[in-house]
Chain A
């Protein structure tokens, strides 16, 4: 411990002996740290938003379907469990939210146009908390009950159909006997969503109304369950799987939306790779700085050895010096990253490339997300790898023979 204090003081003083070099290196570390954390926050923000959008759009965290529904999304593949059975099993299971719904492909027709859409027959109260539609912000009104006879469609769809609140549209789909099931609806609300694809692709009607139209009794085609953390859906999955039995398919959102699932994993990998790349770019400068720092004080190292310092202390001194430099850079860099992310948390407007972001599956407003884990990861990556990078110059410094070091000229 006392040796440590000696070494820390020496290292600190040496660090500032050549303040220009230290400041330049510090600048590089600060920039690198900032870039690591800033970029990670942007990436996290984007992926979070994508997944939040994606999950709220459809999958929830865990889904239950009738056998074969995922491959053949038809009313004939409804879930062989009634709403009462679901309620009996899951009402007190502690999920953040859950709901059963009717979800089938359909065609919507106005007097002008037709489009293919996904019909969602929902219980509006049950889905309020995880729907991508903000009920309160709907032009007109959102559905009020499962028996609501109206329909709520997206703004973009309303545009192409040349319809609006108060006008009528017709939905067509099939019933379980493959007869055409159709019904006229009055448009009661028009919603806006982060993604144009949602506005074009989804229409909401009351669950009971949908069941009546599709002549499917009280059956549903999908049950969705939402837990606390989209990254860890296993607890929800296990509970649901245990509750519903074998007659149905239970899937995690990563399985239903494989693109999003892969995206999440890939981005986790990307974040780490990015940090390591930045570190490697820094490491050349770091090693260089240490080599120079050792080189210009070979004689002093010899002196310390002659005075009775053990080689291990020299090694420690150089490593401490390097760690101090890194820690200082990390501190400033992290603070800077934080300071530059906080003002952006209200969202960065990317609507200039909005449709491109949508191709990536992301919305056109990017909310950077600073996670403590990422800050820690960046710091740990730099410190740990920095430690290994300093080993070689520090080792060399400790291997000097005192006589040679002292008599070294120049």
Chain B
């Protein structure tokens, strides 16, 4: 089953009088349960592609399908619902809502979804434990290290069991040891729950975990290989 399908999508930014093709007639298909790494030099179009898949940004042309639904023509409200129910996001930084504690951040999405408090509570505690944060549930983001914050963000991204997790340079602010831990966690989730992962990164260490490696340059896919994960 296809989790993500992009057909011939283009996205052009105009900077001054120069047109920058962030995505240039790009097509890609990702099956459910895949673990994909997007690689490119800086400016290659990774973030733009992730945003297009997550419905945060609409491509100028082409089609984007997620979980069998075409999303590039959806309204803002429909997109919000799609993200809420089906997609988990992890960003490079500023991932957490600063006025909520770790647990509240994890529960946030479920709360908006309308999950009952008891269920919410159990699920978030289980996940926080799973990402190795037991004991830190009631800390505010400002009271945690970058790696801890990033793990809270991961917990939040996967707590409602989305089919698809999009992560944009999740390890950029982490040391290599913490980064490795985080990747282990991703792999584990991928294997246990068949969650599809699409991760954009520069980090060689991260690439080692990828089962499929997609190299991009100037908005195009230049290389797409399956590999045996480390």
Pairing of A with B: yes
Interface of A toward B, CB cutoff 8 Å: 2-3, 5-6, 10, 13-14, 17, 297, 299-300, 303-311, 313, 401-403, 406
Say which one of B35-43, B87-95, B181-189 lies at the interface with A.
B87-95
| A309 CA / B80 CA spacing, docked (Å) | 6
Once A306-B56, A310-B80 are accepted as A-B contacts, the answer to whether A406 and B94 lie under 8 Å apart by CB is yes
B112 & A308 in contact (Cβ 8 Å cutoff): yes
Least Cβ–Cβ distance between A72 and chain B, in angstroms: 76
A308 & B81 in contact (Cβ 8 Å cutoff): yes
B114 & A2 in contact (Cβ 8 Å cutoff): yes
Say which one of B25-33, B96-104, B125-133, B193-201 lies at the interface with A.
B96-104
B97 & A300 in contact (Cβ 8 Å cutoff): yes
The answer to the question of B57 belonging to the interface, with a C-beta cut-off of 8 Å to chain A, is: yes
Query: Hey, which chain A residues are within 8 Å of B111, CB to CB?
Result: 2, 5-6
Which of B51, B57, B108 is A307 in contact with, Cβ under 8 Å?
Answer: B108
A3 & B94 in contact (Cβ 8 Å cutoff): no
Least Cβ–Cβ distance between A10 and chain B, in angstroms: 7
The answer to the question of B7 belonging to the interface, with a C-beta cut-off of 8 Å to chain A, is: no
Query: Hey, which chain B residues are within 8 Å of A6, CB to CB?
Result: 108, 111-112
Once A6-B108, A308-B112 are accepted as A-B contacts, the answer to whether A303 and B97 lie under 8 Å apart by CB is yes
Least Cβ–Cβ distance between A256 and chain B, in angstroms: 63
1/0 contact trace for B44-85 toward A, CB 8 Å?
000000010010110000000000000000001100111111
| A351 CA / B120 CA spacing, docked (Å) | 68
Can you show 23 pairs from A to B with CB atoms below 8 A apart? A2-B114, A6-B108, A10-B97, A303-B95, A303-B96, A303-B97, A305-B80, A306-B83, A307-B89, A307-B108, A307-B156, A308-B80, A308-B81, A308-B85, A308-B87, A308-B112, A309-B84, A310-B80, A311-B76, A401-B57, A403-B51, A403-B57, A406-B56
Least Cβ–Cβ distance between B39 and chain A, in angstroms: 20
Which of A14, A299, A305, A311 is B99 in contact with, Cβ under 8 Å?
Answer: A14
Query: Hey, which chain A residues are within 8 Å of B84, CB to CB?
Result: 307-309
B100 & A10 in contact (Cβ 8 Å cutoff): yes
Query: Hey, which chain B residues are within 8 Å of A313, CB to CB?
Result: 112
The answer to the question of B109 belonging to the interface, with a C-beta cut-off of 8 Å to chain A, is: yes
Query: Hey, which chain A residues are within 8 Å of B108, CB to CB?
Result: 6, 307
Once A403-B56, A406-B91 are accepted as A-B contacts, the answer to whether A308 and B109 lie under 8 Å apart by CB is yes
| A81 CA / B112 CA spacing, docked (Å) | 77
Least Cβ–Cβ distance between A324 and chain B, in angstroms: 14
| A288 CA / B51 CA spacing, docked (Å) | 32
Q: Among residues 161 to 215 in chain B, which have CB atoms less than 8 Å away from a CB atom of chain A?
A: none
Query: Hey, which chain A residues are within 8 Å of B98, CB to CB?
Result: 17, 297, 300
| A280 CA / B211 CA spacing, docked (Å) | 62
| A10 CA / B100 CA spacing, docked (Å) | 8
Interface of B toward A, CB cutoff 8 Å: 51, 54, 56-57, 76-77, 80-85, 87, 89, 91, 94-100, 108-109, 111-112, 114, 156
Given contacts A3-B112, A303-B95, 13 further A-B contacts (CB under 8 A): A2-B114, A6-B111, A10-B100, A303-B97, A306-B56, A307-B83, A307-B156, A308-B82, A308-B109, A308-B112, A309-B112, A311-B80, A401-B57
Which of A304, A308, A310, A401 is B97 in contact with, Cβ under 8 Å?
Answer: A304
Which of A14, A299, A304, A306 is B54 in contact with, Cβ under 8 Å?
Answer: A306
Query: Hey, which chain B residues are within 8 Å of A17, CB to CB?
Result: 98-99
| A74 CA / B76 CA spacing, docked (Å) | 81
Query: Hey, which chain A residues are within 8 Å of B77, CB to CB?
Result: 310-311
| A206 CA / B80 CA spacing, docked (Å) | 86
B100 & A307 in contact (Cβ 8 Å cutoff): no
| A316 CA / B168 CA spacing, docked (Å) | 29
| A248 CA / B96 CA spacing, docked (Å) | 81
Least Cβ–Cβ distance between A210 and chain B, in angstroms: 79
Task: Using CB atoms, name the residue of chain A closest to B48.
Answer: A403
| A14 CA / B100 CA spacing, docked (Å) | 9
Least Cβ–Cβ distance between A124 and chain B, in angstroms: 72
A402 & B56 in contact (Cβ 8 Å cutoff): yes
Task: Using CB atoms, name the residue of chain A closest to B113.
Answer: A308
| A303 CA / B99 CA spacing, docked (Å) | 13
Q: List 7 tightest A-B contacts by C-beta distance, closest first.
A: A308-B84, A13-B99, A308-B83, A310-B80, A402-B56, A403-B56, A6-B111
Which of B76, B89, B99, B114 is A306 in contact with, Cβ under 8 Å?
Answer: B89
Query: Hey, which chain A residues are within 8 Å of B94, CB to CB?
Result: 299-300, 303, 406
Task: Using CB atoms, name the residue of chain A closest to B84.
Answer: A308
Task: Using CB atoms, name the residue of chain A closest to B88.
Answer: A307
| A304 CA / B97 CA spacing, docked (Å) | 8
Task: Using CB atoms, name the residue of chain B closest to A14.
Answer: B99
A13 & B91 in contact (Cβ 8 Å cutoff): no
Task: Using CB atoms, name the residue of chain B closest to A299.
Answer: B94
| A306 CA / B108 CA spacing, docked (Å) | 13
Query: Hey, which chain B residues are within 8 Å of A303, CB to CB?
Result: 91, 94-97
B109 & A10 in contact (Cβ 8 Å cutoff): no
Query: Hey, which chain A residues are within 8 Å of B76, CB to CB?
Result: 310-311
Query: Hey, which chain B residues are within 8 Å of A306, CB to CB?
Result: 54, 56, 83, 89, 91
Query: Hey, which chain A residues are within 8 Å of B89, CB to CB?
Result: 306-307
Query: Hey, which chain A residues are within 8 Å of B56, CB to CB?
Result: 305-306, 401-403, 406
| A3 CA / B94 CA spacing, docked (Å) | 23
Least Cβ–Cβ distance between B138 and chain A, in angstroms: 13
